A and B are shown apart, each in its own frame.
Chain A
């Protein structure tokens, strides 16, 4: 972890600028970082996500919990553009990203990890992280503003090819900056990933792949970090380690949207918790509120027979 557990703005090495890349805001009135309204997605008639609305404020950590099949992961996939929504709006930092493609959403500032972990198996740990840096680069990607324009996208592509083969002074400076950023991201998991910097990802242990994935997601300096069950398949001490790191990230002001089954971790790290069941939000609030909400207990443990006036025959 970098000095003092804080990750202030502006520590990014020279040459890697994020501001120049971001497009202008549509509106500045939104205070929320992420605003989701009326999100819907059905699979062959099954409503996996059915009218979900929620917000994430800047620097806030929000967790989504709920039984299996309640639509948590689908919600994350919709927010990150991995799956298209059938209805609803998603606004990130004042900009509508509901119809943007996944790559664009990543450029707009959402970094994510996947439920079972997706690393680039044949790339080294360092290269995995370097791919994460991709959306923040400028000198290695000239004319990148054109990269989503029909046909003209070949201009940035060929320019990138030229940079790769020949290079420019600016791209060489950026190269140094990339290496510095990789080191900086590996710092988060120095003890674990440091010695494995140049190992191919498929040779790593499960937990280390998850760490690599988180480091890669952080490398794009996301406004919002989306984590899908970051501790799935980890033992207690590994989970505790991840909790420690999440708390450090939170300390540094990183906004996070988290799906997680381990309630201890969720209760500790979250500012707010959203509870989903059957594709809908059944409760939300601060951890201690959610903990005692009867609807939540019912969703997790089932209805108590003979109580609450409803007797099941």
Chain B
């Protein structure tokens, strides 16, 4: 038991460091910083490089890593995040994701993709108190963290710059008016956060004994949850959240086994958010501020699309592409179409209801598994399974999401992310080995299995999806859901039951996600849970933001650019995600409202 507690404290230690960085940046910039995740992996790899490759001493490598991470953080913030945060925090969040992709893949290209054994620089079990064993490494890690936290809190409380950071976190505008160099404060916060991320990365390597360039995402996710748990923007909360999560996670694994890991993390998070919607130490204002001024999500007028474009686009998609495209183009086309279906169904949640749900991979997975299992074992026809998959996804996702609709702002994004991850983790528990031999669709006795067949099926479903979304948008219901996204308090005062309409929007999006999942499953004929990753959820969100968060047809354009573009870059293979990340940053930088939306 005590060993488990120690293991928990050590895990918590890493999470706390990461969470403080995330909370700090969120506080002063109001941006969720995914790039922070990459610093965990980067910190670990750099230490490995300095110690194992260059043969430097660990105590020399440690400050070197921190300096490199800090410098990188400064560059990232000055070049990418800060210019965007001024326009739209959401765009900035996306760009940090792009940065994270670039960092991870550059690191992979530089150090190689496989994980490296980290040399044992410090003893790991040379000490004991009673029958509790631990090592110098553990003492050093906890000691450094304690030191960092004490210095940080003194700095924030009494330091001149520390005070400036706190002032900026409370009210950026007012801080600027009082002559606080907000730009400097933000840069500094980013630098501190990056260094902390690097430090956490070193600790991961020390603790696990393995350095892995992609280890960042999962640890980063948990650190992020820790920051949310404590209350985004609250540094004490971040530390508490980190340790609470680390310890509970350790005990959870002790009792339920390692596969329960993520389920535990997110169940804790969702439970806390339901009881305290602003996290443990965060405060949610009684009435959200009146958004008369300031920036609105989805502000900006979409470009007027001439009527002839629609039949023309349909003709190109239904006639010209199948005629001139080869199998490769068509199978890329099916991917584009499926993501367009999922994303255009998602616009009602993300755009109209204003809930930036981050866990769409969950309902997609439900759809895929439902369809795969009932066609395989119950011999249901694909054409029946397809709508059933959508219904199952909508039903299960709605039940799981039902407690969270009172949660507000960024927290609801995190809660939905949690739901998505929990869904996939539970599926992994139930169906551990994946499903293979998923039958192809049939019409009569004709089996549909070519790229062209799937292309037409997907196109048909997409047209139906767009039609439904168009009908909803034009209806009274559509306006009511839009009002929920625009201003909840005013919507309530107009007699609109806000929570119900959010739930309905989410159910509609989950339905189309399930449909998309079913289509994917029958094209792949083999699925396992690794397909339905967090990356998939983020891709859906990215598509929607690229196309314009409020435009169902924008999702088609977004999907073309993102899925099609990613495919088109395949010739550079290793660098394609880097190139893609750069393109994403540029697009978001110059069209923050979406490709089809005029800048305002």
Please determine whether B492 and A120 come into contact, CB atoms closer than 8 angstroms.
no
- Is B130 at the interface (CB under 8 A from chain A)? no
- Is B287 at the interface (CB under 8 A from chain A)? yes
B18 to A: closest C-beta gap in Å: 33
Query: Which of the segments A109-117, A184-192, A255-263 contacts the partner chain?
Result: A109-117
A260 to B: closest C-beta gap in Å: 17
Instruction: Determine the residue in chain B with the shortest Cβ distance to A121.
Output: B296
List residues of chain B with CB within 8 A of the CB of A161. 472, 477, 504, 508
Instruction: Determine the residue in chain A with the shortest Cβ distance to B291.
Output: A121
- Evaluate whether A131 and B493 lie within 8 angstroms (CB atoms) in the complex, with A77-B287, A117-B290, A202-B296 already known: no
List residues of chain A with CB within 8 A of the CB of B570. none
- Is A87 at the interface (CB under 8 A from chain B)? no
- Evaluate whether A123 and B479 lie within 8 angstroms (CB atoms) in the complex, with A83-B286, A116-B290, A118-B489 already known: yes
Contact of A102 among B296, B480, B487, B492 (CB under 8 A): B492
Please determine whether A120 and B490 come into contact, CB atoms closer than 8 angstroms.
yes
Query: Which of the segments B118-126, B308-316, B453-461, B495-503 contacts the partner chain?
Result: B495-503
- Evaluate whether A118 and B497 lie within 8 angstroms (CB atoms) in the complex, with A123-B479, A160-B477, A209-B292 already known: no
A42 to B: closest C-beta gap in Å: 12
- Is B476 at the interface (CB under 8 A from chain A)? yes
- Evaluate whether A118 and B475 lie within 8 angstroms (CB atoms) in the complex, with A123-B483, A157-B500, A161-B504 already known: no
List residues of chain A with CB within 8 A of the CB of B477. 140, 160-161, 163-164
- Is B262 at the interface (CB under 8 A from chain A)? no
Please determine whether A123 and B486 come into contact, CB atoms closer than 8 angstroms.
yes
- Evaluate whether A118 and B291 lie within 8 angstroms (CB atoms) in the complex, with A103-B497, A106-B492 already known: yes
List residues of chain A with CB within 8 A of the CB of B375. none
Give A128-185 interface residues, CB cut-off 8 Å to B: 128, 130-132, 134-135, 137, 140, 147-148, 153, 157-158, 160-161, 163-165, 167, 175, 178
Give A76-113 interface residues, CB cut-off 8 Å to B: 77, 80, 82-83, 101-104, 106-107, 111-112
- Is A245 at the interface (CB under 8 A from chain B)? no
Please determine whether A134 and B292 come into contact, CB atoms closer than 8 angstroms.
no
List residues of chain B with CB within 8 A of the CB of A167. 475
Please determine whether B292 and A122 come into contact, CB atoms closer than 8 angstroms.
no
- Evaluate whether A140 and B493 lie within 8 angstroms (CB atoms) in the complex, with A121-B291, A147-B500, A161-B508 already known: no
Please determine whether B476 and A140 come into contact, CB atoms closer than 8 angstroms.
yes
- Is A55 at the interface (CB under 8 A from chain B)? no
- Is A220 at the interface (CB under 8 A from chain B)? yes
List residues of chain A with CB within 8 A of the CB of B486. 119-123
- Is B236 at the interface (CB under 8 A from chain A)? no
Instruction: Determine the residue in chain A with the shortest Cβ distance to B287.
Output: A82
CA–CA, A186 to B498, complex, Å? Answer: 25
- Is B298 at the interface (CB under 8 A from chain A)? yes
Interface size of B by CB at 8 A reads 40
List residues of chain A with CB within 8 A of the CB of B290. 114-118
Contact of B480 among A112, A131, A209 (CB under 8 A): A131
- Is A60 at the interface (CB under 8 A from chain B)? no
- Evaluate whether A103 and B468 lie within 8 angstroms (CB atoms) in the complex, with A116-B292, A122-B298, A153-B500 already known: no
Residue among A104, A111, A164, A220 with max Cβ neighbours from chain B (10 Å): A164
Instruction: Determine the residue in chain B with the shortest Cβ distance to A133.
Output: B476
Give B467-520 interface residues, CB cut-off 8 Å to A: 468, 471-472, 475-480, 482-483, 485-487, 489-498, 500-501, 503-504, 508
Instruction: Determine the residue in chain B with the shortest Cβ distance to A216.
Output: B494
List residues of chain B with CB within 8 A of the CB of A140. 475-477
B584 to A: closest C-beta gap in Å: 24
Please determine whether B476 and A130 come into contact, CB atoms closer than 8 angstroms.
yes
Instruction: Determine the residue in chain A with the shortest Cβ distance to B478.
Output: A164
Residue among A101, A158, A161, A220 with max Cβ neighbours from chain B (10 Å): A161
Please determine whether B482 and A107 come into contact, CB atoms closer than 8 angstroms.
no
- Is A200 at the interface (CB under 8 A from chain B)? yes
Instruction: Determine the residue in chain A with the shortest Cβ distance to B472.
Output: A164
- Is B550 at the interface (CB under 8 A from chain A)? yes
Please determine whether A83 and B287 come into contact, CB atoms closer than 8 angstroms.
yes
CA–CA, A220 to B485, complex, Å? Answer: 20
- Is A127 at the interface (CB under 8 A from chain B)? yes
B466 to A: closest C-beta gap in Å: 12
List residues of chain A with CB within 8 A of the CB of B479. 123, 127, 130-131
- Is B301 at the interface (CB under 8 A from chain A)? yes
Please determine whether A163 and B475 come into contact, CB atoms closer than 8 angstroms.
yes
- Is B299 at the interface (CB under 8 A from chain A)? yes
List residues of chain B with CB within 8 A of the CB of A216. 494
Please determine whether B287 and A120 come into contact, CB atoms closer than 8 angstroms.
no
Please determine whether B495 and A165 come into contact, CB atoms closer than 8 angstroms.
no
List residues of chain A with CB within 8 A of the CB of B550. 122
- Evaluate whether A121 and B493 lie within 8 angstroms (CB atoms) in the complex, with A116-B292, A130-B479 already known: no
Please determine whether A121 and B472 come into contact, CB atoms closer than 8 angstroms.
no
List residues of chain B with CB within 8 A of the CB of A135. 494-495
Give B273-292 interface residues, CB cut-off 8 Å to A: 286-287, 290-292
Q: Which 7 A-B pairs have the closest CB atoms?
A: A135-B495, A106-B495, A164-B475, A120-B486, A118-B490, A164-B477, A102-B492
10 A–B contacts, CB within 8 A, in A order: A114-B493, A121-B291, A121-B487, A127-B482, A157-B503, A158-B504, A160-B477, A161-B504, A164-B471, A220-B495
**B interface, CB within 8 angstroms of A:** 286-287, 290-292, 296-299, 301, 468, 471-472, 475-480, 482-483, 485-487, 489-498, 500-501, 503-504, 508, 550
Having A114-B290, A122-B550, A217-B494, one finds 13 other A-B pairs with CB under 8 Å, namely A101-B497, A104-B495, A106-B495, A114-B493, A121-B291, A147-B497, A163-B476, A163-B477, A164-B471, A164-B472, A164-B476, A165-B475, A206-B292
